[in-house]
Amino acid sequence: MKLRTPITETMLTKSEWVDLQPEPKKILDERSKLFEEKRVIKYQQDKHISEANEWTDIANILESKSNQIAWDETISEATDQIEQTTGKPYDYWYESYQWKADKLKELALTECCKAVDCKKELETKQQAIDRNWEAYEKAKERAEEKYDKLQREKKAYDKLHQEKKEED
């Protein structure tokens, strides 16, 4: 024998009743988890983008310094002094800055790739959220139909009960 939801004198509104049903409630709980996962992925994506921007900015500064060393006449005139002071030839400093800038650009590119991976994850997560919403809409529809059926039964019961009272 299947137990039925008891018909009480004071029933909840349709939306309240639907929200308390196990199937829609379970789907909404899953939806909350999906949104939290999406938020975490979005945070990671933003972090990777920020790091890529920082590495690029630093690389640009180093390239600027490298170009300054290569093209500044004052520095090129002081090549002997630079080599005596640092123990490294003038070309070393130009190439050193340029090499470091290139390495930082590689790091920035790696961070960009990670951000793209996060974007793909976000798209997948959004598809899961959309499927979840469709499932919720269907579950909500079934629960609303059940609610409407219970309301009709309650009205029929109340009418029958009222007729019995009038007979007595």
pTM over 0.95: no
Residue 21 CB contacts under 8 Å (≥ 6 apart), including other chains: 139, 143, 146
pLDDT on residue 4:
55
Tokens of 98: 């340029």
- Tokens read off for 58: 């630093």
Distance between CA 18 and CA 145 in Å, rounded? 10
Q: What is the mean pLDDT of the chain?
A: 87
Q: Tell me what pLDDT residue 89 has.
A: 79
Residue 110's Cβ-count burial label (10 Å; 0-12, 13-18, 19+) is: middle
Instruction: Write out the two tokens for 6.
Output: 């008891």
Tell me the pLDDT tens digit for each residue of 52-101. 999 999 999 988 888 877 777 777 677 778 778 888 877 787 788 889 99
Low-confidence ranges of the chain (pLDDT < 70): 1-11, 76, 168
List the chain domain ranges: 23-154
Report the distance separating Cα 24 and Cα 98, nearest Å: 59
The pLDDT of residue 6 is: 54
